[in-house]
């Protein structure tokens, strides 16, 4: 029977605090690492710096490069524009007016 290694919680949380204070922005893009519990390597996601610090300390990810962050933000902005366009198109309403009513309305506005 093997004993589980004991984690030094004080140094673990100190490490998280150090990572968090080193991150300037409130939100950062993180690149995931492959993990034994199913985490996939190379996925980019935007997270608060507190989450990023914990994931880095746990070895689950690292900060994305400036180029990768810029590309991620551009794709996110494009996806937002596409979603807004689709939402606008789905809200567009069409009203059908019978020809007789349209003619009646035109006659009333001419008088």
54 within a domain of the structure (yes/no): yes
pLDDT digits over 12-21, tens only?
999 999 999 9
Q: Does position 106 have pLDDT exceeding 80, yes or no?
A: no
Q: Which residues pair with 30 in a beta bridge?
A: 45, 63
40 within a domain of the structure (yes/no): yes
49 within a domain of the structure (yes/no): yes
pLDDT digits over 35-94, tens only?
888 889 999 999 999 999 999 999 999 999 999 999 999 999 999 999 999 988 887 677
Q: Does position 111 have pLDDT exceeding 70, yes or no?
A: no
- Confidence bin at 3 (pLDDT 50/70/90): low
Q: Which two tokens stand for residue 1?
A: 């029977």
104 within a domain of the structure (yes/no): no
Q: Which of 72, 71, 53 is nearest to 63 (CA)?
A: 53
Q: Quick one: average pLDDT of 21-27?
A: 95
| Cβ partners under 8 Å of residue 57, min gap 6 | 12, 15, 16, 19
Angle at which helix 49-57 crosses helix 9-22, to 10 degrees, equals 130
31 within a domain of the structure (yes/no): yes
Q: Which of 21, 14, 73, 71 is nearest to 49 (CA)?
A: 21
Q: Does position 5 have pLDDT exceeding 80, yes or no?
A: no
91 within a domain of the structure (yes/no): no
User: Alpha-carbon distance 7 to 75, whole Å?
Assistant: 39
HEC string for 49-63: HHHHHHHHHCCCEEE
90 within a domain of the structure (yes/no): no
37 within a domain of the structure (yes/no): yes
Domain count along the chain: 1
pTM for the whole structure: 0.68
Domain of residue 62, residue span? 7-79
């Amino acid at each position: 029977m093997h004993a589980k290694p004991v984690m030094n919680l004080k140094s673990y949380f100190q490490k998280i605090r150090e990572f968090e204070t080193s991150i300037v922005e409130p939100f950062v893009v993180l690149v995931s690492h492959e993990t034994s519990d199913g985490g996939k390597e190379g996925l980019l996601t935007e997270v608060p710096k507190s989450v990023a610090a914990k994931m880095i300390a746990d070895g689950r990810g690292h900060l994305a490069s400036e180029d990768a962050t810029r590309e991620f933000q551009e794709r996110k902005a494009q996806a937002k524009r596409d979603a807004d366009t689709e939402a606008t198109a789905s809200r567009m309403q069409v009203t059908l007016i019978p020809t007789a009513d349209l003619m009646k309305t035109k006659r009333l506005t001419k008088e």
